[in-house]
């Protein structure tokens, strides 16, 4: 039976039939699913949603009224099973930063060792890879943007290795946004971590070439999905869904990608996710032949890339990192520039660090402002390229 309820009445085990709000106001791109994670429960309760329709035939009904104070009668003892302990709130970026920084340093070494072992023909350490994926997921759960913001600032020399960690992190965050079950989120993270392992077969002179690749050089690069897929299959430790991402993360939704020119639903869910995460990190990273794009510019490029991505996955990805992703430089209504440091449930009102006045053309004392607070009288007007104001290395402010 369909039943309208408020967000406050939600509990784990309910089947959500419909969310009565526009997608931009709630944290899920789909509106029908079983509510199974406490993180999802908290995000739904915090979102601006007027009404939720549940299907009591597919999940739990609203909780029974609370029992009066005093001893619980034996016949009612099972009523306590449905009491939900609220998860702890996310850490602020400055609280998560030390842990994220250590994880980033350790993950670089882990991936370097994995690529080295693969080149030497040694078996990949799946235990080490799985541990890294779990640590990345824990960091993103504590704060969804800190690690992602840090990992974007990688040197061209580190790109091959940290790109793998970045795609792992984006895949996990996107999986959370899509409401995937925990096991599939771990699978998505592993797929992201190993998606480019086939580049061990691409000469470094081509990977690090500062100029445009020739047709012959690009044909060599295009071999890395099949090399990676074969390597993972031969390892004997991975399931087909993970190795499929190594093979098909360069397929396009319109069928114009490679190596098999698959299109639409013929591309697996994880591979469609991998395509979005791979391109976004590539666009926002410094490479040997170009500087990375500002996050807002990267999103615009992806929105204009018709046919490349599954539009639903792309929409969910944008929601997962925020309309103004952490690390974005934004222009405020007050004429000041700021860096986005934390996401809020209100997608247009993140937490920002003010650092520059466009009116005076000078840096100002950094100040963190939570734009979601009622007493805040400033707002974001747009993304902005900090280099237009002669600003560099703004991420270390």
Would residue 197 count as lying in a domain?
A: yes
pLDDT at 219: 96
Last residue of a domain, one of 321, 346, 379: 321
Residues 295 and 345 occupy one common structural domain:
no
Residues 290 and 359 occupy one common structural domain:
no
Last residue of a domain, one of 14, 44, 64: 64
Q: Annotate 101-129 with DSSP letters as a single string.
A: HHHHHHHHHHHHHHHHHHHTTPPP-HHHH
Contact present, 221 and 160 (Cβ < 8 Å): no
| DSSP-based three-state secondary structure for 224 | helix
CATH number at residue 193: 1.10.3210.10
Rounded distance, CA 199 to CA 228, Å?
A: 7
194: enclosing H helix or E strand: helix 182-194
Q: Tokens 């993180």 — which residue?
A: 39
Residues 308 and 340 occupy one common structural domain:
no
Domain that holds residue 9: 2-64
Residues 308 and 333 occupy one common structural domain:
no
Q: Which residues pair with 55 in a beta bridge?
A: 2
Residues 98 and 235 occupy one common structural domain:
yes
Would residue 192 count as lying in a domain?
A: yes
Would residue 271 count as lying in a domain?
A: yes
Rounded distance, CA 334 to CA 179, Å?
A: 37
Contact present, 26 and 44 (Cβ < 8 Å): yes
DSSP state of 91: P
| DSSP-based three-state secondary structure for 279 | helix
pLDDT band at 18 (very low <50, low <70, confident <90, very high): confident
Residues 260 and 351 occupy one common structural domain:
no
Contact present, 206 and 175 (Cβ < 8 Å): no
For residue range 70-109, what is the model confidence (pLDDT) as tens digits? 443 333 333 333 333 334 457 888 899 999 999 998 998 8
- Residue count of the chain, please give it: 397
Percent of the chain topping pLDDT 70:
85
Residues 249 and 342 occupy one common structural domain:
no
Mean pLDDT of the region 224-237 = 88
Count of the separate structural domains present in the chain: 3
Last residue of a domain, one of 292, 321, 350: 321
pLDDT at 151: 85
Would residue 15 count as lying in a domain?
A: yes
Residues 140 and 213 occupy one common structural domain:
yes
Would residue 73 count as lying in a domain?
A: no
Token reading at 10: 């939600």
Of 22 and 316, which is predicted with more confidence?
316
Q: How are strands ordered across the β-sheet holding 33-34?
A: 2-5, 52-55, 15-19, 33-34
Token reading at 261: 């020119």
Would residue 193 count as lying in a domain?
A: yes
Contact present, 339 and 368 (Cβ < 8 Å): no
Rounded distance, CA 69 to CA 288, Å?
A: 67
Check whether 164 has a pLDDT greater than 90.
yes
Token reading at 322: 């925020």
């Amino acid at each position: 039976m369909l039943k309208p309820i408020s967000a406050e009445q939600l509990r784990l085990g309910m089947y959500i039939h419909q969310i009565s709000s526009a997608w931009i106001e709630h944290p899920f791109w789909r509106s029908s699913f079983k509510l199974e994670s406490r993180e999802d429960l908290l995000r739904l309760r915090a979102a601006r949603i007027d009404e939720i329709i549940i299907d009591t035939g597919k999940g739990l009904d609203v909780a029974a009224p609370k029992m009066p104070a005093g001893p619980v009668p034996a016949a009612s003892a099972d009523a306590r099973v449905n009491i939900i302990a609220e998860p702890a709130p996310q850490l602020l970026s400055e609280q998560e930063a030390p842990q994220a920084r250590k994880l980033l340093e350790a993950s670089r070494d882990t991936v370097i060792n994995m690529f080295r072992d693969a080149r030497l023909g040694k078996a990949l350490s799946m235990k080490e890879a799985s541990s890294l994926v779990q640590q990345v997921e824990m960091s993103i759960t504590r704060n969804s943007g800190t690690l992602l913001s840090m990992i974007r600032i990688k040197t061209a020399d580190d790109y091959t290795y940290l790109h793998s960690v970045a795609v792992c992190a984006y895949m996990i965050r996107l999986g959370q946004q899509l409401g995937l079950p925990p096991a599939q989120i771990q699978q998505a993270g592993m797929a992201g971590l190993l998606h480019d392992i086939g580049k061990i077969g691409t000469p470094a002179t081509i990977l690090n070439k500062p100029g445009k690749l020739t047709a012959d050089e690009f044909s060599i690069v295009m071999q890395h999905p099949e090399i990676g897929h074969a390597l993972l299959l031969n390892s004997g430790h991975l399931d087909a869904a993970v190795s499929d991402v190594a093979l098909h993360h360069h397929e396009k939704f319109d069928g114009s990608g490679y190596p098999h020119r698959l299109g639409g639903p013929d591309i697996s869910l994880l591979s469609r996710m991998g395509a979005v995460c791979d391109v976004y990190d590539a666009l926002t990273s410094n490479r040997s032949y170009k500087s990375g794009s500002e996050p807002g510019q990267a999103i615009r490029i992806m929105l204009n890339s018709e046919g490349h991505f599954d539009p639903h996955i792309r929409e969910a990805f944008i929601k997962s990192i925020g309309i103004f992703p952490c690390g974005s430089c934004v222009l405020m209504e007050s004429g000041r520039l700021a860096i986005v440091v934390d996401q809020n449930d209100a997608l247009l009102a993140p937490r920002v660090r003010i650092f520059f006045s466009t009116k005076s053309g000078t840096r100002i004392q950094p100040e963190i402002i939570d734009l979601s607070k009622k007493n805040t009288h400033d707002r974001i007007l747009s993304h902005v390229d900090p280099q237009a104001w002669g600003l560099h290395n703004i991420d270390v402010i």
